[in-house]
């Protein structure tokens, strides 16, 4: 089972809030015009950095040929 963690981007102050309390998180969720709430995906990148929804990630896909493709995208939740 993955760890449930959140971080929040404060658009007004332009700063990241890591591990807000449940009370703080409840307030922030109700103010989407000011805060972007991001949940931990349970995955880590190549430098052991946690990946959250909303992060921009880069992946390199290797083929059976000498060529490779680099893909850049935003992490989103898909049910």
pTM here is 0.80
pLDDT score of 64 = 74
Average pLDDT over residues 53-58: 94
Q: Beta partners for 58?
A: 72
Structure tokens that stand for 20 in this block: 């807000």
Please answer whether residues 45 and 38 qualify as being in contact, where contact means their C-beta atoms are separated by less than 8 angstroms: no
pLDDT score of 66 = 74
pLDDT score of 61 = 83
Where in the chain does DSSP place strands (E)? 6-10, 15-18, 35-44, 50-52, 56-62, 68-74
């Amino acid at each position: 089972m993955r760890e449930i963690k959140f971080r929040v981007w404060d658009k007004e102050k332009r700063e990241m809030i890591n591990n807000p309390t449940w009370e703080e998180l409840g307030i922030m969720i109700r103010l989407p015009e000011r805060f972007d709430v991001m949940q931990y995906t349970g995955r880590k990148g190549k430098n052991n950095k946690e990946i959250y929804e909303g992060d921009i990630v880069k992946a390199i896909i290797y083929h059976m040929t000498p060529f490779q493709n680099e893909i850049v995208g935003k992490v989103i939740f898909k049910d």
